[in-house]
Chains A and B, each alone.
Chain A
């Protein structure tokens, strides 16, 4: 067992060695530009890109023509939101999204608001889930797009995507989902889920960093987005730039592996996750965040009351976890996702997100259970707050004086 143990697979995943193997020939021998139309270096690259498109489309029930390659999920999210805003300006300017979305969505919405968009941010229940009724109520005649993430990156909760998709279809509103955490982990079917646009990325499913995709529906309805990067007109004019052939080959292989192994892997991971979660929830004053039933198989998010967050992170140095999204982990602010579930700052600070992955072993989980439980115990032994709590003092009733 190598230390530190990596349990931050929601931030990024190791590249599967089989993916690396698939990529290597496209670094060396087949280095052509997929847009070169008059020699075999170009054809070979284009052929590899087409094959990857099929592998990717097969995982999500799409047609390969509906896959637009990007540099990653953040770019896909930007292209979906900003691209729809520009393309459908004549139809309306109202967007509906959720306060627990990833920063890439929220920041893009903020940007659009400055441009004149009206955005409704729905809040979630204590369990992190949205009710499809909330969306129905928020819809207006000028609503253009609903964007709801598939599986939440911090909690793992899965939103009622199929119901939301059906509602949007019925109302003639476009539906985008940021499925970065869900694709490759659970079955996602863009047809059954009535998804019009979907963002996802390779590096969250054991593929390489720097490559992602936006699914753009071609039929019923035919969806279009305005390009955010202009140039050679690649990707049906929606995204210019020389294709990252090697990365795309890796992305394709990663999708294929997920498609073939997902069912068994989800069972294995949820068993390990449940073992970890059940053990940590036996620690006194520890709480699970988010809905337990509708959840990604590899994620759990647990708060440890009366423990100081930074101390906890320092106390479990042998385990790589995070207290929230990697994209915001440099900031000392508590997670806005946990806060929108109703957690106070302190509890949000003392929460850990565990993201298990393909290479996580039972031995690592056993070690983690012991390491985290011990660290919590140790920190509480030194904590006057814990002592007061044990003495039965209601901490909320105390008036702290300023020093």
Chain B
């Protein structure tokens, strides 16, 4: 994939070579089953627990609160489904612009009559209506709030501390899908009173097929996947050991380089934003791009133009990879539920550009130059 510009890091990110170096020996030489009691098994069990310890230390929680999963979707499902099944949650408060891993799961639980689903109004700038949240919490008991830290399509950042404290005040559980922000922001879970978090390694330059759930101590839940006593009996199945080692390594690297990385990526985002404003008449940005927004995502709204419906296709021909929204639904004809919510019935064209640590200024300038050919 030489000479292509990859601006779809929110879909998945390139594996860091350092992570690969950490994983390959595990695949080649440490092949035991962590549940086996012999030397091969004990060795990988030790490596796995070291990885768990490392993740916990970075996040400011206990290793006993980190549960490895097959990815972010499973971690989100685990939090929502078990909150309803095991913690007596009767009301799920969420938003219409959540990732489908949360939204569809919540809808499924509501459809089965296991909980009532309340979707918060979204303000024009893409943020959730906090007053509405507080009102719901005041009038409903047995609530779980599930709100993503950063929206995967438009990048809006949630004030997690504020939501967590509101939940605490009203004795509600708080789950946050942190798939887009894990590895991009520092979390200190000893001070942030959140109950559940979901993370996926492949969004922070780690491998696919592995993620984790943070489940705060004392939240007694039962597994979704039963069989075997792995993950402190919360998740049956032989552990994806090389993936777990890769996840921990990727998070360590993310934290190690977090200041320089965020400064660099953030500069790229604002470079693109300013350039687009200057070069393309009528360009707008979805969500709160210049305010409380994730530095890796810029959702651009292009004015109506004949090229619009074919814009992604043309970008691709020009060697630029971006997306219209979430990769999970990129083949669907329904369109993005997030953009539908923010700009109902719009005839404008949305492209999500998402940046990573391997992008350069050159990537941005070439992309804007190309867009200018079509729109200026």
A residues neighboring B (CB under 8 Å): 4, 6, 8, 11-15, 17, 20, 23-24, 27-33, 35-42, 44, 70-75, 77-78, 102-108, 110-111, 201, 203, 208-211, 228-234, 240-247, 313, 317, 320-322, 326-331
Contacts and interface: CB of A to CB of B under 8 A. Distances in A.
Q: Which range holds the interface residue count of chain B?
A: 35 or more
Given A230-B105, A233-B328, A330 B208 contact: no
B35 A327 contact: yes
Contacts of B328: 35, 231-234, 240, 242
A7 to B, nearest CB: 10
Contact of B14 (A31, A40, A208, A331): A31
A39 B99 contact: no
A17 B11 contact: no
B199 to A, nearest CB: 13
A327 B209 contact: no
A27 B243 contact: no
Given A208-B27, A327-B35, A38 B312 contact: yes
Contact of A38 (B14, B39, B210, B330): B330
B323 A36 contact: yes
Interface string B321-352: 11110111111000000000000000000000
24 contacts: A8-B36, A12-B32, A30-B1, A31-B15, A33-B8, A38-B313, A39-B316, A42-B327, A71-B70, A74-B228, A74-B237, A75-B70, A78-B227, A104-B227, A104-B236, A209-B241, A230-B107, A230-B108, A231-B104, A233-B100, A244-B70, A246-B209, A247-B240, A328-B229
Given A38-B323, A104-B236, A111-B226, A231 B99 contact: yes
A232 B104 CA distance: 8
Contact of B243 (A8, A17, A37, A210): A210
A232 B337 CA distance: 12
Interface stretch (B59-67, B71-79, B153-161): B71-79
Contacts of A102: 227
Contacts of B14: 28, 31
A23 to B, nearest CB: 8
Given A41-B1, A242-B328, A329 B35 contact: yes
A320 B38 contact: yes
Interface of B: 1, 4, 6, 8, 11-15, 17, 20, 23-24, 27-28, 31-33, 35-41, 69-74, 76-77, 99-101, 104-105, 107-108, 200, 202, 207-210, 224-230, 236-243, 312-313, 315-316, 320-324, 326-331
Nearest to B311: A38
A111 to B, nearest CB: 5
A210 B235 CA distance: 13
Nearest to B228: A327
B79 to A, nearest CB: 12
A320 B226 contact: no
Contact of B71 (A35, A230, A242, A330): A242
B213 to A, nearest CB: 13
Given A33-B202, A322-B36, 6 more contacts: A15-B28, A33-B8, A74-B236, A232-B327, A241-B74, A327-B35
Nearest to B332: A233
Given A210-B70, A229-B73, A12 B31 contact: yes
